Amino acid sequence: MFKHFTIGGETYSYAYVHNQNVKMKPISPFSIDYCRDGESQYVEDADWVIRREWWSPKQNT
């Protein structure tokens, strides 16, 4: 996540549970878009968040 912070100035992660273990996946700040609330700068306070992923046809199967 340090790489994403140094390049984009922000860092994001996706937390999920897999086999009863919490995992965190770093997400590029260039693939995140969200509606910033007037008072808060935090993503979790946004009304909506979009994460873009680009897949090849082979990854889709």
Three-state SS for 26? strand
Three-state SS for 18? strand
Per-residue pLDDT for the chain (61 aa), expressed as one digit of tens each? 666 666 667 778 888 999 999 998 888 888 888 887 677 777 888 888 898 888 888 876 5
Q: Is 20 exposed, middle or buried (0-12, 13-18, 19+ CB in 10 A)?
A: exposed
The structural domains of the chain, with segments of one domain joined by +, span 2-51
The pLDDT value recorded for residue 19 is: 94
- Compute CA distances 25 → 33, 41, 47, 55, whole Å: 17, 22, 22, 17
The pTM score is: 0.56
The DSSP symbol for 49 reads E
